[in-house]
Structure formats: C-alpha cells, structure tokens
Amino acid sequence: MTMFSSRNWREYPHRYRREASKFTKSGKTYYPKRLVDPETGDTAQETVVLPDEGKIVTFTVIRIAPKQWGELSPYALAIVELTDGTKVFGQLADCNVDEVKIGMEVRLEFRRVQTESHHGVLSYGHKFVPKWF
Amino acid sequence: MAGIVGYGAHLPRHRIKVEEIAKVWGADAPSYKKGLMLKEKSVPPPDMDTITLSVEAARRALKRAVVVDVADIGAIYIGSESHPYAVKPSGTVVAEAIGATPDIHCADFEFACKAGSEAMYVALSHVKAGEMKYALAIAADTSQGAPSDALEFSAAAGAGAFIMGTENLIAECLFTHSFMTDTPDFWRREHQFYPQHGGRFTGEEAYFAHTKGASNAILKKANMKPSDFKYAIFHQPNGKFPQRVALELGFTQEQIDPGWLAPTLGNTYSGASPIGLTATLDVAKPGDMIFMCSYGSGAGSDAFVWKVTERIDEVRNNAVSTHKLLNENLTYIDYGTYAKYRHKIIKND
Amino acid sequence: MRTVCIVGVGLSNWGEVWKESFRDLHTSAALKAIESAGVDHLDSLYVGCMSGGLFVGQEHLASLLTDYMGMRGLPATRVESACASGGMAIRSAFIEVASGISDIVMASGVEKMTDVDGDEATYALATAADQEFEVFHGATFPGLYAMMAHAHMAKYGTTRDMLSKVSVKNHNNGSMNPDAQYPFKVSMEQVAKSVMVADPLHILDCSPITDGAAAVIVCSEDVAKSLGKPYVKIIGSGIGTDTIQLAQREDITTIKAATLAANAAFKMSGKTIDDIDFCEVHDCFTIAEIIIAESIGKYAPGAAGPAILNGETTLEGSFPINTSGGLKSKGHPVGATGVAQVIEVYKQLTGQAEGERQLKSSPKIGMTQNMGGSGGSSVVHIMEVA
C-alpha cells in the first residue's frame, strides 16, 4: 500500500526522536504525542523524549507474514514498557525469535521500518533489540 | 586547536564466513583467508542501512561528547558510497533523528571509500575556522560486491561518527593532508547495482601509491616518523593491504593492531579507517599519537595526525566499545540468508 | 422508548462464494429477511460493512445496495466500526425503531473478502488497528490477539488446551450448522499441531476469511405482532469503546470495550449476566472467546479458560457459547458477523436452530457480543423470547 511521503514525514517527532506528551495535571506520558489527555481531557502538556530501554510486556512471533514483511519473516512484535513506565509497540530485531520472553530487556534502535517497493519513500523509526551490553 | 569531542561506532551483529561464500562459488577459501587475510565480514539485515548505522553511531558520539548541545552542531556530513537514496540526502534524516535541525549545514559526501574521511576533514576545517562550534562527520557504508566477485568476500557494513570541535577534545588533530589523482581503479556507473574494478590495477598504482603518498607527505609536514606514533590506522579493503602498507612505511603490527578490523569485519568502505580510529580511541591513553590514512578509489587518501587528550578516560565508557560490537553477540548466517538480506534474490514487486 | 423486536432473518451463502459479488451477497440476504418477516416495505436500512473500499474498491454502499434490493429511494446508511460494523447496524436500527422514527428497519451486514489476495485481505483487516503505530511496525490481526494471548497466559496460566478447546467446541457446534463455512470437527491435537500463524496462535485458533451477508428485520412490537411470525424482543443494547492501540491499554488481558458494552446492555434490560442463558461472542481468535467470557462478567479474570475446558460452554453446558459455531467455524465476513450473531440468537430463542444445535434448555434470554479490531469497540445486544 502506497504511503504518501507527507504522511510519514509528519510522524518524525515520534518515530525519529521518541517524542511523547506528558500531561501536566495527571503526570502521565502518552506515545505518540496527542493533543488531549485521554483520561482527564486536559490539554496542558510538555514534550518529553522517551527513554531508550525497557522490558517486554508481551510479544508474538509472526510466522505467516504479509509479503511486504517477507524478508524479515519470522519476526517478533512486542509491547515494551520503557523505564519511565510508558508502553511502546514495535518490532524486535536482531533476535532469535524462539528465545523471546516476557520480561526480556531490550533497547530501542533506529531502523528502517518500511521499504516501499524499489522507488518509494523509506520509513524509519525504532525497533527493539535485545539488550546485550 | 580542532579535534574530536566525541566518537561512536555501530556494526551489524550478523556475520558471514569466507568459507560460506566460497562454497557457493567454488572459490578457494584458504586463498582468501591467507592471501587477503579475510575470515568473515559483517552483513546488514534488511532493516539496517547507511542512515540507520549513522544514527546509532552519531548517538554514541553524542554520549561520549557529553557537553554538546545538539543545537550547536553546525554541520552534518555523511560520507558513503551506499546512501539509501540516489537523490535525497542521508544527512537530513540523521540530523532530524538526533534533533539537530533546522539550523545546520548538511551534505552527503561521495569518494568511494574515502568519503568518510572527507567528511571528517571538512568538519574539522569548519570548527578550526570558527564557522561553528561543532560539526558532525559520519563515515558509513553497507556496500555490495557483485556475487562471486572478489569484492563479495569483503564488502561489509558499519559506521563511525565523530563530533568535531575546539573545546573539550578527546583527541586533537595536529595535521591533515590530502593526496589525490585521477586513477580509475574502481567505479560504479549510475543505475548499476554493483561496482566494477580494475583487478590487480587496484594495488600498486592505486591503493599503495595514494596511501603512501598521503602518509609520506603528512609525516614530512609533521616532521614525524612512524616510531613517534603509538597507533596507526590505514584503509582496509582486506586484511592484507593495510598490513603491508603499514610495514612498508615503517609501522609495526603492534601499532596497527587495535584498528586493524578487516580480518573479521570485512571492508566497511567509507567506514573502514574511521571505524578503525574508534577502535583505537577505545584503547588509547592520554598523550598517545595516532596516525590515520584513508583511501578512496578514483583515487585519493586523507591522512590525519591525532593526539589523544586526558579527557579520553572520562568519556570512553559512555558508549559501547567498537571491539565489543566486533567480537560479541554475533550471529552467523548462511549464504541464502545473506542473499535474502542483501536483495540478491529476484522477486516480483 | 418503544419495545423493539426482530421478526425476520436472512443469510446469504457463506464461505468462499466465488460466483456471487458483493452486491449479490447482500441482495440475497436482504430478500430472505424480507420474505421471512413477511413485511411489504421497509422504512430504512442500516448496512454494516468494514471495508468495501479495500476489499472490493466500493464505498457509497448503502445507496448501491438499496438499488440492487429493488428499493431505490429508501433511506439508507452505511455503518462502520471494523468487525463490529454489523452489530452497530443492529444498534442503529434499534434506536430508529425505539425512537418511533421508523416502524420497520432492516439491519444488515456484508463483506466480500475473497476478491483480493491474502496479503491484501490481511492489510484491509489490519486497518482496524492503529495504522501509524501498530500496522506501521508490521502488526497483523493474529499478531495482536497473539500478544493478548501471551499476556493472558503469563498472568493467569491460561493453557494451549484451553485455547484449543474453544476451537474444538466451536467446530463441533458449527458441524451442526448448515450455513457454516467450515462445518467439520477438529480435535485438540489437530488444533495444537496446526501451522503456527503468530505465537501462540495456530491456524485453527483463527477465524477464516469469508464472503457473506446477513440481514434482519427490526420492528416495533405492534408490527411484529401483526405479522404473525416468530419474533424476539431486543431488551438491551450497549456500545463500548477503548483506545484501538494495544500498547496504550492499562491491561491487555481484558477487553474494556466489551465490559462497557455489556454493562450498558445489562442496565438497559434490567438483567445481569446471570440472567443470560447463552451467548454468541466474537471469537475471531480462540483467545478472544476466553477474554470476552471474562470481560462480559460471566467468569472472573482467568476463570474462563478452565470453565471452557470443563465443558461449561458447550451446547449441554450451563452457559453455551457460540452455538452457531462462532466466527471460527461458521465463518467471519467481518461486516456481516454482528448481524449473523443476532440471527443465531433469534433462531435459538424461537426454536429454529437447525439440527442438534438447538438448545434443549428452552432458553429465554440470549446475548450477542460483537467486537471491532483488537477490542477498540464492542457492541452487545440482549434478546428475550416474546
């Protein structure tokens, strides 16, 4: 599916720099950024940069992958709770998919997330990698 | 005095052994291992490219630079022969990812394997001239050798990043020298997937002539001799060339050892001598002199004389060492996986 | 608010229906519903469809389908809430009749899923997840439910056997349903040994890709009585929503939207979960049935798996779930599913369920739970014998 380049471009603050909304009243952080605190309706917020380490809360291994993801198949997906408590979704790279476990420590790395055919725009963002150092 | 404020490297964890490639093409693995001193090479997975390697290396350089405010970085230069886009800069993505936009100058450099040292050279010049407080130079590649070509045994991936400045230096740049002629030993035409090369012509008249030309010139300029240096790094298209040129110039195996990565990393092209420098800085002591000479086909060399400062001991451990990335947490892949990762298998769109 | 009834129902052919188009499927279900109700006109139509655009390249469905039903000019609206679109169409029709605006409204659902290849179908379904922050990273629907399954297993000790039992039970029920897409029985071993799609979910944990349409006639009680056909009353209707992004939920071992929808329906009906005799739930994946059985309040968190394994939810059990065979065996044309669930409850309450799957316990109250995406929306209806 073609993704127009502007659609990718406007997500850079989230995808490239892990920017999130921290709402003043509730103190809660949401990733990606949003205009309204979903729980309180407050709008006062500051932009924070999420930490780059966390633990796997849950995961799966996609064994039957859509063609677009075929060269990575099988690949793992995880929800990771970062060290500040924010939960982030993403792919797990550089791992043996059969060794992925809940509680595993990971680090966020900058990766190419989507490659649109041979001529489209390249989409970058985070992937998780097992923390090994 | 201009020099390095912070440095960082990034390497893929995937490796393929020379035997695995040789097996597929009926090539003689021992001759590559002994003749070219190549045991294995790094392979980037499909989600890694020059841009992603650059971002990770740059982030590590920032961690070691400690005091650098990214807003003070006035330029970002990435040298590579494998920029992911033919048209559209790599540097803009990296600058955006580290939060250094929009008040910044950016250019992607290209000069075969010396594009990375060119970026370093220009970044140093900017800060030396007082044009800006810091300049970021990155040397990165995910190069491809044509299947069955000798280059397939060496073409590897990796990145080194350097934040240049004039204060809080971990290594001062005492001298630089560039040496260049038009020598067509290796090239890739527009729209061609793999590079071509001149076979044995890439040796004496190309690599050795230019590496020695630049090295001798800078030694003369600095009024120094090989024994004045603690370490030396040369461009490393394989394990053998840098060793031979080092010994012929009068350097010793001990001097090149920390930055001599090609035997197990392969040829990281633009990244080769810059990543060698990161590995050398990882072990250098305050006061050590480091000699560095790149080589890029086409052809030319950039040489540098570095002097390590006291600050190295404070910041070295702020990021992972290059030798750790080189030697630990490795995954060995077979040729099929390598062919898939490097898009050597023909599929329909 | 007027009492609202369901008086006639119709299902198209279900399965891989190569010979029938999107519009053929809907027309056939609609005409069957009209015929079974015996109504001579409609006041309006609500059609649920998740993604006509991606599956057949067709939006602007309500007018098109009305035209093909032979009812040009009929007020008609398309309703969308991913896989809960059908249930939402029922809800819209319910409101229109309850309010007195209309007396006879058709609620229908349709999806033609086999006019695209598997990849495109996967992509279309994945649009029910967060496009920028889940699908972007390679999320697929089995993947999202698999992540919920791993979390549920880790928290409550839910086992492979419990998941398999959902599939075994639903296929057993579906084997008695002449409309089911996959009316074969499966064994615990077959489920556990079927190909892995997204750990820990195997292919026999997943509902299939299905073409199909379903339609019901929703009307006032006066109309229902005058028609002289079997009818049931809709006594409760509820909707719940939640963030569609899994990572942003407090707890992914429960589906809050289903709890909210069920509670709203209970409140409207004055009933509790204990008053419900049986239920059709949205078992798009086996884990979904386990989590929903807990989220609607039937079982405490972690207790549904063991209960299902013990046979409590079979046709003979104390709380039959998915007597139709569920999405798993009956099939899951996403936009039509919510309407088909209501049809099963209608059939059970009026004694019209085919063959051996008709509940012997003479049920009085049945419930449907239909769900969008990974639980970003849910709609519940409670029906009672007239």
pLDDT band, very low/low/confident/very high, at B187 (cuts 50, 70, 90) = very high
Q: Do domains B3-170+313-341 and B171-308 have the same CATH topology?
A: yes
All structural domains of chain B with their residue ranges: 3-170+313-341, 171-308
HSE-CB of C32 using CA atoms within 13 angstroms: 17
pLDDT attached to residue C268: 98
Distance from CA of A88 to the nearest CA of C (A): 6
Chain C touched by A122 (CB under 8 Å): no
Provide φ and ψ at C55, rounded to 5°: -80, -40
Token digits of residue C62: 């309500």
Superfamily assignment of B3-170+313-341 in CATH? Thiolase/Chalcone synthase (3.40.47.10)
Least confident of A106-120, B147-161, B294-308, C226-240: A106-120
Mean pLDDT of B25-39: 93
Distance from CA of C57 to the nearest CA of A (A): 14
pLDDT attached to residue A3: 65
Rounded Cα–Cα distance for residues C327 and C201 (Å): 15
Mean pLDDT of B27-38: 93
Interface of C with A in 171-230 (CB under 8 A): 195-201
Chain B touched by A72 (CB under 8 Å): yes
What is each CA distance from A78 to A107, B77, B210, in whole angstroms?
12, 34, 50
Single-letter residue type at B73: I
Does residue B33 register a pLDDT over 80?
yes
Residues of C labelled catalytic = 83, 332
Buried b (16+ CB within 10 A) or exposed e, B96-134: bbbebbeebbbbbbbbbbbbbbbbbbbbbbbbbeeebbb
Does residue C365 register a pLDDT over 70?
yes
Superfamily assignment of B171-308 in CATH? Thiolase/Chalcone synthase (3.40.47.10)
For the question of residue B106 being annotated catalytic, the response is no
All structural domains of chain A with their residue ranges: 5-130
List of domains in chain C: 4-117+210-232 (3.40.47.10), 139-208+235-385 (3.40.47.10)
Residue in A with minimal Cα distance to C245: A89
pLDDT band, very low/low/confident/very high, at B347 (cuts 50, 70, 90) = confident
pLDDT band, very low/low/confident/very high, at C355 (cuts 50, 70, 90) = confident
Q: Which of B196, B165, B207, B197 is nearest to B294 (CA)?
A: B207
- For the stretch B285-312, pLDDT in tens is 999 999 999 999 999 999 999 999 999 9
Please identify which residue in the block is written with the tokens 């099939």.
C331
Residue contacts between A and B (CB atoms, under 8 Å): 57
Single-letter residue type at C141: F
C286-295 vs C256-269: helix axis angle to the nearest 10? 50
Q: Return all residues near B59 (Cβ < 8 A) that are at least 6 apart.
A: A110, B8, B98
In 3-state terms chain B splits into helix, strand, coil percentages (rounded to 5) of: 40, 25, 35
Please identify which residue in the block is written with the tokens 């796997």.
A56
The angle at the Cα of A80, spanning A78 to A86, to the nearest 5 degrees, equals: 145
Surface-to-core class of residue B178, CB atoms within 10 Å of its CB (0-12 exposed, 13-18 middle, 19+ buried) = middle
Surface-to-core class of residue A1, CB atoms within 10 Å of its CB (0-12 exposed, 13-18 middle, 19+ buried) = middle
**B touches A (3+ CB pairs < 8 Å)?**
yes
Fold type of domain A5-130: OB fold (Dihydrolipoamide Acetyltransferase, E2P) (2.40.50)
Rounded Cα–Cα distance for residues B194 and B321 (Å): 31
pLDDT band, very low/low/confident/very high, at A118 (cuts 50, 70, 90) = confident
Distance from CA of B160 to the nearest CA of A (A): 15
Q: Are strands A53-62 and A105-115 parallel, antiparallel or unpaired?
A: antiparallel
Residue in B with minimal Cα distance to A91: B47
- For the stretch B208-224, pLDDT in tens is 999 999 999 999 999 99
Chain B CB contacts of A16 below 8 Å: 93, 96-97
Interface of A with B in 85-114 (CB under 8 A): 91, 93-94, 96, 109-113
Q: Which of C284, C226, C291, C283 is nearest to C258 (CA)?
A: C291
Interface of B with A in 248-307 (CB under 8 A): none
pLDDT attached to residue A2: 59
Question: Which residue did the predictor score with more confidence, B235 or A7?
Answer: B235
pLDDT above 90 coverage of chain C, percent: 99
Q: What is the DSSP string of B14-82?
A: EEEEHHHHHHHHT--HHIIIIIS---EEEE--TT--HHHHHHHHHHHHHHHH-S--GGGEEEEEEE-S-
Q: Mean pLDDT score of chain C, rounded to an integer?
A: 97
In contact, A82 and A51? CB cutoff 8 Å? yes
- For the stretch C262-301, pLDDT in tens is 999 999 999 999 999 999 999 999 999 999 999 999 999 9
pLDDT band, very low/low/confident/very high, at A119 (cuts 50, 70, 90) = confident
Interface of C with A in 271-290 (CB under 8 A): none
Q: Are strands C44-48 and C76-79 parallel, antiparallel or unpaired?
A: parallel
Chain B touched by A69 (CB under 8 Å): no
Q: Within its chain, how far is the Cα of B8 from the centroid? A: 11
Output Rg (C-alpha) for chain B, integer angstroms.
Answer: 19
Does residue A1 register a pLDDT over 60?
no
Q: Are strands C104-111 and C44-48 parallel, antiparallel or unpaired?
A: parallel
C61-68 vs C22-37: helix axis angle to the nearest 10? 60
